[in-house]
Amino acid sequence: MRLRAKTFSTRKRIFRQCAIVPEFGPAYNRPARESLARLIWRKSTMLFLLLGILVTVVVGAICFYLIDRFVRDGRLGNLLKLLVVLLCLISILQRLLPALGINWL
């Protein structure tokens, strides 16, 4: 008979699965430990990805504001703003595409 415990998060459930089961031995618990490591890796990767995108957007917004405030020529200001937008998009795509599995570009 197997006891069921109430678990509220995936981490607790995976930790519960990692317990050593004497009748099956330590090899039985290997997939649960690997899935825990994979879960922690995915969450930290997503956090760093979102942080990098946020930094890119904030730096782009600051550059956009400075161009708008200090460049007097309208055409030059618009070209510089377009350049900032394109550089921000390229930077975001550079961070986002490997996380989505598109490494061949």
Task: With respect to residue 2, please indicate whether it lies within any of the assigned structural domains.
Answer: no
Task: With respect to residue 105, please indicate whether it lies within any of the assigned structural domains.
Answer: no
pLDDT per residue as tens, the chain (105 positions): 455 555 445 555 544 555 554 555 555 555 666 677 777 777 888 899 999 999 999 999 999 999 999 999 999 999 999 999 999 999 999 999 988 888 776
pTM value is: 0.62
Q: Round to whole Å and give the CA distance between 57 and 55.
A: 5
Q: What's the number of domains the chain is made of?
A: 1
- List the one residue out of 92, 53, 85 whose CA is nearest residue 68: 85
Task: With respect to residue 38, please indicate whether it lies within any of the assigned structural domains.
Answer: yes
pLDDT on residue 51:
94
Give the residue numbers spanning the domain of 39. Answer: 10-100
Residue type, 22: P
